[in-house]
Amino acid sequence: MKTLNYKDEYIKLLTPEIVSYLVKIHEHKGQQNLFIEAQKDVLDELLEIAKIQSTEASNRIEGIITTEDRLKKIVMNKTTPKGRSEREIAGYRDVLTTIHENYDYIPIRPGMILQLHRDLYRFSNSSVGGNFKNSDNVIAEELPDGTKRVRFQPVPAWETPEAVESLCNVFQDALNNTEMDPLILIPMFILDFLCIHPFNDGNGRMSRLLTLLLLYRSGYIVGKYISIEKLIADSKDTYYEALQESSIGWHEGQSDYLPFVRYMLGVVIAAYRDFTSRVEVLIAKGLSKPGRVKEIIRNTTGRITKSQIMKQCPDISQKTVERALKELLDNNEIIKIGGGRYTSYTWNWDKE
């Protein structure tokens, strides 16, 4: 079994690029704390939006989907889930809520990881929930011709309990070293977790839930208000490329954490930037819903579609978004590009 050595690997990761990422995130964390103290009502609104986006995005990565209307009702606990996909979506919702509300009391131990995995499948008939894998698994990709290619061979089933125990111990020992930044240790932990691949099913979703848990426990709670899962889903190809690059030679102790650490730190920075801009939009002008649509378009570099606007504002109805777009077009404040389902919009900077 691979021997984990976070201290030596950590030193290799202190490149000028990674250090610059850390500085940016630490600055954002200071602003985050000020916002949280002063703008609770605004943040409650962002929290509800992020719950919907996180649940949708993390499950979508794994091909678990339902309609937009059903998704919102499930996340808001206003309907009973139907079918396997909706039951797994409801399980994700509950684990996400548990982490949001109790992260300080959820230690990173094998037993707790098993409990979270159990709750992920609490609405399912599957017996996989709360149990480590009972057979060896592989990480494979489907090729254009329909055949599958093995990308990575995880730890065998019989070694899994010991591997997870070792991972948790090494991670906790590293966290106890005040000279080691948790922002680097967290993606290291997640990469190793995914290389172990401890469950028959649900490894990807668990990795994203654990990412949030570890960030929250270290004081970086931006994921409560901006969906980190959505940022990962929107850059899925880059995510898998970084994961693949960092897993090469993992079993032999020759892998390089850098690509995955770089990617994850970039996601956290993107989340903080979105957090800052959205909070400023909501508090600076006491914006109405049409006003929020206007500011979203104005703050978007390039083009944005109606569906993208609605994903950023799940609490705004389609009719309200459409009325706002019509008014902005009538006032020549935005420019319409294309037509039909390919329609997008951009801010008319020439008018300013």
Q: pLDDT, tens digit, for every residue of 256-277?
A: 999 999 999 999 999 999 888 8
CATH number of 6-282, picked from 2.40.30.10, 2.40.340.10, 3.40.50.970, 1.10.3290.10: 1.10.3290.10
Report how far residue 38's alpha carbon sits from residue 15's, in angstroms, rounded to the nearest whole number: 35
Task: Please indicate whether residue 150 or residue 255 has the higher confidence score (pLDDT).
Answer: 255
Q: What is the overall mean pLDDT for the chain?
A: 92
CATH 3.30.565.10 fits 288-351, yes or no: no
pLDDT for 286 equals 63
pTM: 0.85
- The yes-or-no answer to whether 6-282 and 288-351 have a common fold is no
* Least trusted range by pLDDT, from 14-23, 167-176, 209-218, 283-292: 283-292
Q: Is the pLDDT of residue 315 over 70?
A: yes
The residues spanned by each domain of the chain are: 6-282, 288-351
pLDDT tens-place string over residues 34-44: 777 666 666 88
* Of 316 and 143, the one with more pLDDT: 316
Q: Which tops the pLDDT comparison, 348 or 351?
A: 348
How far apart, in whole angstroms, are the C-alpha atoms of residue 124 and residue 175? 35
**Structural tokens at position 120:** 């992920």
